[in-house]
Structures are given as structure tokens and as C-alpha cells.
Structure 1
Amino acid sequence: MKAVTWQGKGTMSVEEVPDPRLSLPDDIVVKVTSTGLCGSDLHLYDPLAPFMEPGDVVGHEPMGVVEEVGPGVTALRPGDRVVVPFTISCGSCWMCSRGLHSQCEATQNHEHGTGASLFGYSRLYGQVPGAQAEYLRVPFGNALPIKVPHGPPDDRFVFLSDVLPTAWQALEYADLDPGDTVLVLGAGPIGDMCVRIARHRGLRVIVADPVAERIDRSTSYGPDVVSLTDEAPALQQVRELTRGRGADAVIDAVGMEAHGSPVAEGMAKVVALLPDRVSEPLVRSAGVDRLAALHFAIDAVRRGGTISVVGVYGGAMDPMPLMELFDKQVHLRMGQANVRRWSDEILELLLQDEDHLGVEGFATHHLPLDDAPRAYRDFRDKRDGMVKVLFRP
């Protein structure tokens, strides 16, 4: 089958790889009909390159049709249409039973001290073959896949794999009431979806992003817009919009893609040039993230407010302004999305006739799998108005 593979730092290639096979009784094989390109996939270009190996199949946002089921699978049969969550969870362990599917005890990676395995996401998270491919082996066939009806286009459901539950969890963690104000930092796919969900819930939304095309996508949902060209005026704008207090909650949907720290950016480039045996421990332990967005969130949240971090950070020793966090009595919540914790609730919304969150027009590009190498470059460089890509294998 064809699949997108990692071949080196900054190099993706579409290659012929072996078809997946059933390994355990509750495995299924899915024929992929749509699969997304995520901002997290760009982390494999540089920051997480030391944990990748040439030939690794990438991608983690798929849906498709069940091709084959193992003898232990009773919940699905060939021909069923499913969305596959990016976090691999058993659904029955202590963590899963408490809604912490991203910490699933059946797929935790003890060697690296990380949580549940992810599709297509390096040795840190299990080195499980990914979903930017024609076929995908999916474990836990009775609990992990989300069954959806035939009929509506893939775009109605495919974002259940990652974008929707990640944004949904960010709002749940923000713990807001209708009429409260949430500031969303970053209007990429996750930030944009946060804006849409927040407006659907009756929240007042402020959105900030330096890329005009991304802001334009969000403005149709009615948020206030803050310019990020200069931090001090941006903070002043937030305070003017919130009676001087700051936002009730801030969602950091940027993470380690944030700009604003030349020193950290330079260090990340140096680390990327080192041999894997040297760079791997540095990536794990050193402060290589760019923290401009998180520091902005700390400044912009009101006293007693909440910061919900959904953007991915990688460095383990980045300095945090703990005194300011303590003094402002800030609630700080974060974590990988617990997809199956939220998926049934979100699916109920998606099954309504009205497309409340605009998912059917959410993707900016639909491309064949062969275009993946160019799409990775264009997405990284924010060319051609590319915000969200769906590949059609």
C-alpha cells in the first residue's frame, strides 16, 4: 500500500509499504478514506526528529471503512464506517474508566515515561504505524473506533479523530459559563475550532493570531480580534475588552510552534543538527520550547482565571513564572485529548441536520496522498492559505 513516511529531518516521502495485518483477536483493518495533516505532525520535522526512524509511517487523524475484523471483534463488521481516535486506548483500564484515555495503562510507554501510544508519532509514543496511508491496523476494535453512519461526507465526521475532541477538551478544562470571556491564542485548526465551539456554547470570544488568513476564518463566528504584532498593545487590547481584568480563561492553542524567542529557536535548530544519541536526551530534558504564547496567556488571564493549554510543548525544563501564577491564583490545566471521553457527546452534535461547527467547510485543502511531501512544506511555511489539509488515499 501507499503511505507517507518519515525519511529524515524535514523529509517526508510517499512509499510502498507492507499492508497491515491483524495481530490480535480484537484488531481491525480500516481502509482509509480521509486522513488529516495536523500541526503536531510538523513537530516530527525537527523537535521530535531524534525519536523517528526512516520509514516510519506518519499521520493520526483518519476515518474510513472497516475492511477486516479479528475473531474477538463483536462491535463492528466489515463495511462499517468508523473514525479512529489518534490516542490508542483500551477503554477499560483504571485510567480509561476515569475518562483519562490519553493515559491508558494498556498502551503507556514506560521506557520513555509517556502516556498512551499515538498513531504515527515516534518512539516516544509507541512507534505505531500511522494513518496517512491506504490502510490502517487499529487495536481494541470493540472500544476504540467511533462508528458513524454512511451518507454524510467524510468532512462531517473525520475531525472526531483529533481536532474536535482536542478543542472540546480545551473548553471543558477552561470551565466557563455562558457569557464568560475566553481568549484563544492561535487560530490554526485547533484554535479555530475552539472559537467555534465557544461561540456555540454562548461564550464571548477573543482570538489572537499573527496570520491574517487564519484570523479571517474565525471572524465569521463573531469573536473580537486582537493583533499580535506587538505584545504590549495586544495585552492592552485584551484588558480594554475585559474591563481591565483580563480574560476569564485563556486557551493556548499554539504550543511549541510559538514565535518570539530567537534564543530558544536557535537552540532548537542546533539540537536538530546533533546526532540522535546526543539530541534525544536534550530534547527530553532541555528547555527548547518557545514560550511566548504561554507567557502571554499568563499575563492576559484575570486573577483567579484558568489557562487551558492545548498546544503541544516538548521541553521538560522550561522556566515557568511560578511566582506570578501563584500570586494571580491561576488554574492551569493541560494534556493530550482524551478522545473517547468526549466523542459520544460531540457525535450527537454532528448528527444533527445543521452543521453547527462548520465542519463540512473546515478543511482548506483536499489532496491526494501523493501530494503529502509538498503539503507538509506548504503547511509548515503557511503558504497558499493552508490551514487544514485532508488527504484522500
Structure 2
Amino acid sequence: MASMVSFVEPRVAEVVAEDERPVGPGEVRLRTLFTGISAGTELTAYRGTNPYLNRYWDSGARLFRPGDTSLTFPVNGWGYEEVGVVVETGPDTDGVAVGDISWGTWGHRTHTVQPVEKVLRKLLPPGADPRLGIFSQIGAIGLNLVLDADIHVGETVVIFGAGVPGQIAAQLARLNGGRVIIVDKIADRRARALDLGADLALDPDEGPIAERVRELTDGRGADVCLEVTGHYPALHEAIRTVAYNARVCVAGFMQGEGAGLRLGEEFHHNRVSLICSQISGVSPALQGRWDFERLSRTAIELGVAGRLKLTELITHTWPFDKAAEAFRLLDEHPEQALQVVLEVDDDAKEQV
């Protein structure tokens, strides 16, 4: 019997049993090695604030509609940071062998059955740290954000939020030749960003960021700001921080109404462009060349090559059956953790 994490009600996570189906032709079974928790999107479901729990998403019209909802509790198997080892192959699965390690998205569960063609495209090279696999989607989100930002050599990039996607975006912005300033209230996150190559780290509690960045840029302001906190006051400060005719790229998953956002001020007077960076698509200028698979594959390849420091973002690795405590930590004490990982223990691995 396999297991999965279920949000049985808001702020209550449990590990529950899940039936496993047989492996069919062209399919393989993986047992999960590690599954990472996204402290942004996942917590919106855990807390019950995700719009899918309060509105119906009309995918044809691409509109949220009142009335029905797209998601209800219990929310089972949420998650998108998984890596596992092949333990069983069905007929017609040439190219994949038992023992191969593959990354992907199958939620917080101990086992999954996947199409062989999907597994083949997502194999980690022999010898690579399997934990790198949990960063495929969050790495893609960071990369997509940097591509949306269109960062040029020599530009000043201010990143609001030094959580996992902000840390990844900061590293990628430096690879693009940007001068990176990270902004976060949590001292440990600022220190980690500096250790991983950020040029400067600022505490927003020590004064407005916009004025300090102008002091550092001959009064001009940032060339681009990246908003990854998901908080409206931070978005407002990002708008204040960019230069005239500059842009703010927003990847933070904002919840509820926009308290603290005053669009009649700097946004209006400085002709600031607001760009949504969301992983379901890429910049129009990149369509036809970039898609989600290329984004995630590129993030993994950069991690394997050591050009992106990813495992350095892991602060906690807990047994899978401690999922409830892990979610509670991220919800109640975010200052104590960055990337939290659930590891499937040996007993669970043998329950196939």
C-alpha cells in the first residue's frame, strides 16, 4: 500500500493510504526518494486561500467564476517537487531500467506510475545528487521569471523575496550579467543569498528600499524588479524602486484583495510596466523556442553542472510521515526554514 499527503481541511495535513494500480504497457513504477514542499503555492492550498478553493476556474474562457469551486477538501497528493527511482517496468519500456532516477511532478506520495516516454525525458545522469530532482518546477519558475524580466548585462536587478524561487532567480540574474540586490526581512535568507552570489542584501525593516536603491544607482532606480514574496506591500515597494519606464515582473502568488497597493502613485507617474510571470506560459517573444519542459530541463542541467546552487537551499529533510509537522513549520514559522524536503523512509520504499 502506498501513501500520500492529504490536506483534510484547512491547516490540517495527514499521511493517508493510497491504492496502487498495476503497471501497464509503456509504463513504469517509481518509488519516491524525495519530495519538496513549495512554501508558496502549496501553502495556499494548505491554508485554504487558493482561489481554486473559492472560485471555479473556467479553463475555456480563462476566467474565475463565482459559485462552484474547482477544488474542495480533502486536497490529496498536492505538490510538484518530486524525484524517484524506477522499481518496476511494464512491457514496451525500452530505454528505462530498474534503478534509474527520474524527476517530475506527481505530488506528495510514496509511489507513482508514469508513462515511459515521460520518465525517459526526465532522467538524472548517473552520479547526480538525486535531491536536485526536486527543483525541476521551482527552478523552472525562477528561470521563467528571469526570462520574463529580460535582464541585460550591467543592469541592477532588485529581487523582493529570498525564498527558494527568489534565491534561484537571484543566481540566474547574475548568470545573465545583472547586479543583484536581494530584499528580505529574514536575516538567514539574506545571508544565504549573499553566500550564493548576490551583490547586496537589504532588510526592508531598515528603511524604504526605493530610496536606498536610488542612492546606489546615481538616482536612477533599478532597471528591473522581481517580486517573489506574494505580498502586496512588497509589490508596491518594487514599483517604487524601479526607474522611469522600467518594469516589475511578478511571480509571487498574491492572495485576496490588493491592500497596500497604490497604483495612482509611482506606477502611474513613472510609466511602470507590470509583467505577470506564471509557469503556464512563457514570454510571447520566446514562444516556439521555450516551453515548460525546456525550462525545467534547463534548471536541472544547470544544477547538475553546479552553475545553480540548489541543494544548498535545503534547510530541513524530514521523514515522509512527518509531513504534518513540516507544513506546520512552514505555515507558522517561515523564518526557520527555506526548502523543506520529505524523504520516503526505507519501510515505505518496500511497501510496493
Q: What TM-score bracket applies, with the shorter chain setting the length? A: 0.7 to 0.9
Label 1:72 to 1:198 Cα distance change in 2 as closer, same or farther (>3 A).
same
Shift of 1:326: 8.0
Q: Does 1:387 align with 2:328?
A: no
Report if the CA contact (8 A) 1:35-1:391 is conserved: yes
Q: 1:348 to 1:6 in 2, by over 3 A?
A: closer
Given candidates 183, 192, 195, the residue that maps to 2:167 is: 192
After superposition, give the CA deviation of every residue in 1:163-194 in whole Å (9 maximum; x if it has no partner).
21111111111101121111100011111111
- Identify which of 65, 80, 85 aligns with 1:60: 80
Q: Counterpart of 1:371 in 2: which secondary structure?
A: helix
CA contact (8 A) 1:83 1:145 kept: no
**Which residue matches 1:216?**
191
Q: 1:135 to 1:248 in 2, by over 3 A?
A: same
The verdict on how the C-alpha distance between 1:327 and 1:20 changes in structure 2, with shifts beyond 3 A counting, is: farther
Tell me the amino acid that sits aligned with residue 246 of structure 1.
G
1:64 CA drift (Å): 0.9
* Secondary structure at 2:205 match in 1: coil
The code of the aligned residue for 1:238 comes to: V
Rounded Cα–Cα distance in structure 2 between residues aligned with 1:348 and 1:228: 34
- Quick one: structure 1 residues 297 and 20, their matched pair in 2 at CA, closer, same or farther if it must change by over 3 Å? farther
Give matches, 1:276-315, under 5 Å: 291-315=232-256
1:228 is aligned to 204
Residue 242 in 1 paired to residue 193 in 2?
no
Query: Hey, what's the Cα distance between the residues in 1 that align with 2:185 and 2:86?
Result: 41
Match status 1:364 vs 2:315: yes
Structure with more strand by fraction: 2
Within the candidate set 299, 308, 321, 2:263 is matched to 321
Matched residue, 2:326: 375
Which of 283, 293, 299 aligns to 1:346? It is 299
Number of residue pairs matched by the alignment: 310
| Paired amino acid for 2:299 | I
Q: Could you give the per-residue CA deviations for residues 144-180 of structure 1, whole angstroms, max 9, x where no partner exists?
A: 85111232221233312x2211111111111011211
Instruction: Report Cα offsets for 1:367-392 as digits up to 9, x if no partner.
Output: 11011101111111235721111111
Extract unaligned runs of 5+ from structure 1.
87-129, 259-290
- State the partner residue of 2:157: 182
Could you tell me how far apart the structure 2 residues matched to 1:320 and 1:27 are?
Answer: 52
Structure 1 residue 72: Cα displacement: 6.5
**1:1-393 aligned within 5 A:** 1-22=2-23, 27-39=27-39, 40-44=41-45, 45-48=47-50, 49-50=53-54, 51-54=71-74, 56-69=76-89, 76-84=96-104, 86=105, 130-138=106-114, 141-142=117-118, 145-160=121-136, 162-220=137-195, 221-229=197-205, 233-255=208-230, 258=231, 291-315=232-256, 321=263, 324=267, 327-330=270-273, 332-336=275-279, 338-352=291-305, 355-382=306-333, 385-393=336-344
DSSP-derived class of the 1:148 partner: coil
Q: Do the aligned partners of residues 143 and 339 (structure 1) sit closer, same or farther apart at CA in structure 2, a change above 3 Å counting?
A: farther
Closer, same or farther: CA 164–56 of 1 in aligned 2, 3 Å: same
Task: Name the aligned partner's letter for residue 35 of structure 1.
Answer: T
Match of 1:157, SS? helix
Structure-2 change in CA distance of 1:238 and 1:55 (3 Å): closer
For residues 205 and 21 of structure 1, what CA distance do their matches in structure 2 show?
Answer: 49
In 1: Cα distance, 2:115 partner to 2:234 partner = 36
The C-alpha deviation readout for 1:104-151, integer Å capped at 9, x for no partner, is xxxxxxxxxxxxxxxxxxxxxxxxxx5211112335844885111232
Task: Please give the secondary structure, in 2, of the residue aligned with 1:229.
Answer: helix
TM-score (norm 2): 0.78
RMSD value, Cα? 2.8
Q: TM-score, normalised by structure 1?
A: 0.71
